[in-house]
Amino acid sequence: MVHSMTAFARRDLKTKWGNLCWELRSLNQRYLETYIRLPEQFRNLEPIIREQLRGRLTRGKIECILYFTFNTDQYELSEFVLNKNLVNELIKNANWIKKISGEGEINPLELLKWPGVISYQEKNFDFINMYLLKELEFVLDDFILNRESEGIILMNMIKQRLNTIFDLIQSIRYQMPDILKWQKDRLQKKLEEAKIQIDSNRLEQEFVILTQRIDVSEELDRLDAHVKETYNIFKKKEAVGRRLDFMMQEFNREANTLASKSINSQITNAAIELKVLIEQMREQIQNIE
């Protein structure tokens, strides 16, 4: 399955608690790197979200952002908690002091200022947390679909170049008999011009040695096999970026050997075009998961 490593997805929602927005974006990266940005109230979700991303993505620099604005008119982030036992003790002691001293009044507002009488307890966010994680799954679905759509475009671009490489291989094969004949005639002409006498058997031996040195049939066979293997890689269900990257190294190796054996401008031009096509594929593969 071909997925691009560059993608973006966003999901905006309005709830009774407030407005939320999930954003996912990614760039190409050799390994998987996750960067998660959450409001302070939801920082405890970071390890869960990280595992959620790692469970469905294998490569790329992933940025996951949650924007959340609470609707304080409908939902309070915290509530007052009154320590009634402490208030009773304070009143009891205040009445005793008033009885002993014979003066003073108990002011309820002053009691509320006493340390420990009033505390603030944050509401339980468990239900909101579950809702947020569920919504992240939806935006992750969209994100992966976007990656897949972009991946199909990349795959088609690479296949176009594979087809051109296949045509190049066939063209070189078709030209090789003429090239070898040309090389044989060229060798014989040079010997004649130099007025070097050589028997036909020796001439044939020299030509066989030359043919072996410039023969590119093995390189063409391997290039042909690499084209077929690359097509097979596209059919795999797992991430294929690393396999494709390895195939480009194999393509380059054969292209370099082909160039080193070049004996005329036709082979040289074919080798150069081949290296250009391989580089174009390699650049696209850098974006594939």
Task: Count CB-CB contacts under 10 A for residue 96.
Answer: 10
The CATH label, of 3.40.1340, 3.40.50, 3.30.160, 3.30.230, for the domain at 7-74+124-148 is 3.30.230
Q: Tell me: the pLDDT tens digits for 119-161?
A: 544 556 788 889 999 999 999 999 999 999 999 999 999 999 9
> Which has the closest alpha carbon to 183: 263, 267, 257?
263
The domain segmentation of the chain, as residue ranges, is: 7-74+124-148, 80-120, 149-286
Q: Tell me: the pLDDT tens digits for 185-195?
A: 666 666 555 55
In the chain, which stretches have pLDDT less than 50? 120-121
pLDDT for position 100: 75
Do 63 and 44 touch, CB atoms closer than 8 A? no
pLDDT for position 205: 63
pLDDT for position 120: 46
pLDDT for position 122: 54
